[in-house]
Amino acid sequence: MQPFSLNIPQATLDDLKSRLANTRWPADSARTDWQLGTSPAYLRELADYWLHRFDWRQQEARLNQFAHFRTSIDGTELHFIHERGRGPRPLPLLLGHGWPDSFASFAKLIPLLTDPAAHGGRAEDAFDVVVPSLPGFGFSAPLPPTGSFMGQTAARFRQLMTDTLGYPRYAVHGSDVGSGVAERLALDFPHDLLGLHMTGVPYMRLFVPPTDPSAEEQAFLGASQQWMMQEAAYSMVQGGKPDTLAPALQDSPTGLAAWIVEKFRTWSDCCGNLETCFTKDELLTNLTIYWATETIGSSFVPYHQADAVPQGLGAPRIEVPTGFVLFAQDLLPAPRAFAERFYNVQHWTEYPHGGHFAALEQPEALAESLRTFFRPLR
């Protein structure tokens, strides 16, 4: 375990600017609508900002205010943040991000959890926060090419928490891919976990639906099928043909931006105006991490190794105390009855606002849900 600082080589940043300056724009690049995907006009505006106004060094310095480390676990180099809590007995909490975001998406949330008394909370609710980059994302190396992404990641994160950091028991929160990893920790290492907290039921639970759904569950399953037909093409490509897509996105920063930014708009509670939820600096910090670390291809691995849990109703029930927080505009917000088929649900909170990127969109609400759920489990 060694201290680590973000320090992208200047040559990489110079090459990025050169590629942005030489983007080959399509003929209709002034079109403003998002009907066919990313708005060509907005993409051009964002690329211009990336080229002329975005200051990576400023964002790098902001992120370097956290305590970063790297360590090798079972041959995989992992990057993680480890921020100590300010309180009488901080609870160790592992945070798992998803795709297409990164560890940086927790930058607003971390201070709310480590120092709640400074942000309207109680000192006794403080957490020691651990934020790894998923393997193959950001500054973490990819996993070996065979085996289960969720299983291998969960085993390494467990070793990070128990052996490297010395927490015999800890809490875990996940969203998106991070929810799959968190769920796998609860399945494989239940005695380590004080509690499991997620922003929704992992989508793998949809693949074998219940035979006796309630009317509410039936409506949810129908909406989920419709969403998959309309919005899940990205997942099929990333899972089925990743080697066709990845080279294009790794070679073109504008192409990378088009692929990722559309998800931030579609999956957030922005009512069509992306920058009501995210600043350009936030969007481009995330994009620059993917670009500079050349990890867009390896970030597709969870999609073609998508085996988060044994599928269907025969999957083991998770008895670890589980809490959910649902934001109204997230992708597939499940009803509580559906979640209770698979989890020992002890906490359920729904918010009328917010979308898929809760730590960026609604950090205060997410922090409050985490504090409330884990308070009796400390």
> What are the catalytic residues?
176, 303, 356
- Nearest to 289, CA basis, from 66, 133, 85: 133
Contact 372, 347 (CB under 8 A): yes
Q: How many CB atoms lie within 10 A of CB 52?
A: 10
- Nearest to 178, CA basis, from 298, 291, 308: 308
Task: Please give the distance of CA 254 from its chain centroid, rounded to a whole number.
Answer: 22
β partners of residue 72: 77
CA–CA separation, 166 and 142 (whole Å): 24
CA–CA–CA angle 256, 287, 98 (5° rounding): 100
CA–CA separation, 320 and 142 (whole Å): 29
CA–CA separation, 44 and 254 (whole Å): 8
Query: Looking up tokens 């989508």, which residue turns up?
Result: 203
CA–CA separation, 238 and 245 (whole Å): 7
Long-range CB contacts (< 8 A, 24+ apart) of 55-64?
56/8, 56/13, 56/285, 56/288, 59/281, 59/284, 59/285, 59/288, 60/6, 60/7, 60/8, 62/107, 63/6, 63/104, 63/107, 63/285, 64/5, 64/6
Q: How many CB atoms lie within 10 A of CB 280?
A: 16
Exposed, middle or buried, 128 (CB in 10 Å: 0-12/13-18/19+)?
buried
CA distances 248 to 50, 111, 253, 259, 291, Å, are 19, 37, 9, 11, 12
User: Parallel, antiparallel, or unpaired: how do β-strands 127-132 and 91-96 relate?
Assistant: parallel
CA–CA separation, 69 and 87 (whole Å): 23
